[in-house]
Structure 1
């Protein structure tokens, strides 16, 4: 897996609206990039809603939240609308970005993993958290790390 202190690999994926999202375009602000298994599953919904409920805190810390799964843009649109998510979800339908970030599979390789990266304003990875079961821990841990970085 990638390591803290390494540059975050650049990528471009489509957002829920179909617009391209390029990580390098986010330079100058922190990014919380979280990979999750699947839209509308219990753990993934809890995680997304926790990011939603604390989204203003992330903005105040100078960070943008971005979720990534292999679900389609249409699935992301439904998930975003249903749960009123204020941040982008990216469609990594072929799993290339998941591979680029070396996100391991979970539960004996049956599920895509749940991994969160905190990337600073210069595009350097400052934190990596890998836990399939601790969905909302991803949110609290990312906030804690961001509070120690200059906004």
Structure 2
């Protein structure tokens, strides 16, 4: 798994319109990349709702938030619509190259582990939240880290 202090890996993901989104799109801003296992599942729904509830504050801080999964881009888009999310859910389908670059592939599976990364404006990893059955831990931990990073810039 990517370690605190390491740079954001190069990647290409796809949004709901099947348009590419790359690491370069996050340059110059504090960024949260929330990897989650699968759209339309209980834990992932709760986690994304947690980010939705905190989105206004994150946006006010100038923080870019995205969710990342191995779901096909159309499924990620449908999940985004169903949850009425204000941020993008990005697809790493079919190969999971970004999931591998971040070191978060679930052992023996095509899906990602539940890991949230918070990067500073220079693209350096400053905080990571891994695992946990507390679905509030990822969005709240990411918000707390983003507050600290935004205050320091």
TM-score, scaled to structure 1:
0.92
Cα displacement string for residues 83-117 of structure 1 (whole angstroms, at most 9, x for unaligned residues)? 111111111111111100001426xx566310000
For the Cα contact (< 8 Å) 2:30–2:150, is it kept in 1? no
| 2: CA distance, partners of 1:61 / 1:10 | 24
- Is the counterpart of residue 105 in structure 1 residue 106 in structure 2? yes
Give the whole-Å Cα distance in 2 for the aligned partners of 1:5 and 1:58.
Answer: 22
SS in 1 for 2:47: helix
- Unpaired segments ≥5 residues, structure 2: none
Identify the residue that residue 7 of structure 1 maps to in structure 2: 7
- Residue 33 of structure 1 deviates from its aligned partner by 0.2
Q: Spell out the pairing of 1:1-150 with structure 2 (5 A cutoff).
A: 1-93=1-93, 94-105=95-106, 109=108, 112-150=112-150
Contact 1:72 1:91 in 2 (8 A): yes
Mapped partners of 2:35, 2:126: distance in 1: 16
Shift of 1:150: 2.8
**Cα shift readout 1:47-74 (whole Å, capped 9, x = no counterpart):** 1111112111111122111111110111
Q: Which runs of 5+ in 1 are unaligned?
A: none
Q: How many residues align?
A: 149
**Residues 119 and 126, structure 2, Cα contact 8 Å, conserved in 1:** yes
Equivalent-residue separation in structure 2 for 1:32 and 1:56 (angstroms): 14
State the alpha-carbon separation in 2 of the partners of residues 4 and 13 from structure 1: 22
SS in 2 for 1:65: strand
User: Normalization by structure 2: what TM-score?
Assistant: 0.91
Q: Aligned to 2:90, what secondary structure does the other structure show?
A: strand
Instruction: Give the structure with the higher percent strand.
Output: 1
Aligned partners of 2:98, 2:150: CA distance in 1, in Å? 27
